[in-house]
Amino acid sequence: MNCELKKHTIVVGSGISGLTATLLLAKKGHQVTLIEKLPHIGGFLNRFNRSGLRFDTGFHFTGGFGGILSDFLELLDFQDDVKPAPLKTEVFIANQDKRIYLPPTGLPDLAEAIAAHFPQDAAAIQKYYAAEQEIVDATPMFDFKHFDQADVMSMLTEYDALTVQEYLDSLSLKSPELKAILPIMALCHGTPPVESDFPYHCRCSYNLDSHLTAVQHGGDAFMTAFKREFAKYGVDIRTATTIQSLEFSSSSPTCTAAILSDETRLEVDDIFFAINPQSFLPLLPDNYLPARIKRRVRNLKPTCSFFTVCGCLDDGLHMENTLTFFLRDSDINQMLLPNATNYSTGIVTSNDPQNGCTTFTAFRTMFLEDCIAQCGPFDGSYRHEQKYLEFKEKMTESILDNIAHAFPALRGHLRVMDSSSPLTSQRFSPPIGSAYGTRQTIGVSRLSGRLPVTNCHALGHHAHFPGILGCMLGAYLACM
């Protein structure tokens, strides 16, 4: 009989980061308690029901099948649960009515497809994607099955400390639209080219640029698999619960127990925070936190959030699974900064085989503060206030107009089922409701890995990379 006491580990936050960390730790033999403040686990991985149709909250598509995602699925025993679904991807520049198809067959094909629209910039386009490939080749952690722990840091390249904007400027592009099209996946990590470190941008973009797909049954596929594995490993799941306070050793900077919001006391060996550091830092003793850490966390800037509209096409109308990056014009920086004068709308259509109809979800970049600025002073809720309802109606009309602009045959045939503003995201992702955590602004380092309280660790899209691939990789790095 094995009498060894299992390590008791708490994971806080049950988005893809916390879920992955929980399963990896459980597989390593830890007794894991997963703490989630909402009534259900899953964070931005969750889907929801409207009139019998399933809609995504956050996660809609991914890269990495046949590569790093498949490696993760194998590691977690999810190969039979999470399967790709084709997704036609295109950029639509509205003020020029220009549509560019992005093939899902690797960077060389992508470069060729874009160059076909901009032949005068063909050499610069090839150079851009060659640099992206070079940066990824110098990132050993992407080959996580084979990388040595000592190699976890990426190798330096000539592109370090260069913003995406600076690199684009160095290409002397003749077509200004390319400054939006080449770094289009900035819309999937949220740091604008003018602020973003070029290598960071390439690491986030590579799998999406190379092979972008949807997932059959979306986030439900992951949730089914996680729940099955958690039952197998006896994971203790506490929903509608938060950590009220932590207890610490008197002799070392070590956390010894957590007091939960229902007043349960749990002794702990390790805690992993898969939530915003601005939410968990107040739980750590002030005397263990160097001023530079507090400054770092204070200075973290949120990424954009989204205003989202979902619904379905009128009976009899069908569209293939499509992702359209609708850009009002080609100034991508303005779409990803607060007080924005510009926006982009991601339009995803999806065939629901069970109901025989096509659903759509369209998400418009928007910061929480800009939403509040349009709706007046905010004192906790204005769900039913006239001004908020009018704001939602105006945004919904504008987004429907974007869809109809990109797909004229759909005008008048879009049945809206719901809408949500950045205030809704704030419930999942407090305190600011950002879609991708904190911006990876050049020169600002985020808080990740081991904290000054040595058995506490930070992970999640605030800490490493956003998106489900980045979050899974971050969880792996934090736990293994």
Ligand X SMILES: Cc1cc2nc3c(=O)[nH]c(=O)nc-3n(C[C@H](O)[C@H](O)[C@H](O)COP(=O)(O)OP(=O)(O)OC[C@H]3O[C@@H](n4cnc5c(N)ncnc54)[C@H](O)[C@@H]3O)c2cc1C
Contacts to ligand X by CB under 6 A: 12-18, 35-38, 43-45, 58-62, 242, 274-275, 279, 306, 308, 363, 425, 428-430, 435-436, 460-461, 466-468, 471
Q: Which residue's CB is nearer to ligand X, number 62 or number 345? A: 62
Closest residue by Cα to residue 220 from 459, 55, 73? 55
**Distance in angstroms (rounded) separating the CA atoms of residues 431 and 37:** 13
**Distance in angstroms (rounded) separating the CA atoms of residues 472 and 17:** 6
CB of 262 to ligand X, least distance (A): 13
Residues 6+ apart with CB under 8 A from 185: 201, 204, 205, 208, 209
- Position closest to ligand X via CB: 15
Q: Which residue's CB is nearer to ligand X, number 114 or number 366? A: 366
The strand order across the sheet containing 236-238 reads 236-238, 31-35, 8-12, 270-273, 456-458, 449-450
Identify the bridge partners of residue 302 per DSSP, sorted by sequence position. Answer: 438
The answer to whether 182 and 113 have CB atoms below 8 angstroms apart is: no
DSSP state of 44: G
Q: Which residue's CB is nearer to ligand X, number 183 or number 467? A: 467
CB of 60 to ligand X, least distance (A): 4
Q: Which residue's CB is nearer to ligand X, number 115 or number 477? A: 477
* 377: helix, strand or coil: coil
CB of 217 to ligand X, least distance (A): 14
Tokens of 236: 């203790």
Q: Which residue's CB is nearer to ligand X, number 121 or number 429? A: 429
Please give the C-alpha separations between residue 329 and each of 97, 116, 177, 344, 349, in angstroms, as whole numbers.
10, 20, 8, 8, 22
Q: Which residue's CB is nearer to ligand X, number 38 or number 141? A: 38
Please give the C-alpha separations between residue 29 and each of 6, 131, 235, 390, in angstroms, as whole numbers.
7, 41, 11, 53
Residue bearing tokens 């045959």: 409
CB of 303 to ligand X, least distance (A): 9
Q: Which residue's CB is nearer to ligand X, number 64 or number 193? A: 64
CB of 78 to ligand X, least distance (A): 15
CB of 126 to ligand X, least distance (A): 27
Q: Which residue's CB is nearer to ligand X, number 243 or number 406? A: 243
Q: Residue 451: left (phi > 0), alpha (psi -120 to 50), or beta?
A: beta
CB of 478 to ligand X, least distance (A): 11
Segment (H or E) for 133: helix 122-137
Q: Which residue's CB is nearer to ligand X, number 121 or number 219? A: 219
CB of 433 to ligand X, least distance (A): 8
CB of 424 to ligand X, least distance (A): 9
Q: At what angle do helices 107-117 and 122-137 cross, to 10 degrees?
A: 160
